[in-house]
Amino acid sequence: MECARCDGLMVTDSLIDIQESSIPMWMKGWRCVSCGNIVDPLIQQHRMIQRAGAGRLLETESAKPRLRHVA
């Protein structure tokens, strides 16, 4: 695996997650040995979900333009 930032070598690393929950949780992630960029599989998943959610919101907005003048 190559770093998205600097194309450097990435190695598996143990990451501790203290933001997602009150209980610290260890997980496997990727860390770039060149620039220190960390790729967290859970964060990547969240970003994908957020992008999908934002896309759905935009679709919903454009699908209901007629309701604005009803009230």
> Binding Zn ion by CB under 5 A: which of 17, 37, 38, 39?
37
13 part of the interface to Zn ion, by CB under 5 A: no
> Binding Zn ion by CB under 5 A: which of 18, 27, 28, 34?
34
Each residue of 26-45: b (16+ CB within 10 Å) or e? eeebbbbeeeeeebbeeeee
Give me the phi and psi of 31, to 5 degrees please: -130, 135
Q: How many residues bind Zn ion (CB under 5 A)?
A: 8
Residues at the interface with Zn ion (CB under 5 A): 3, 5-6, 8, 32, 34-35, 37
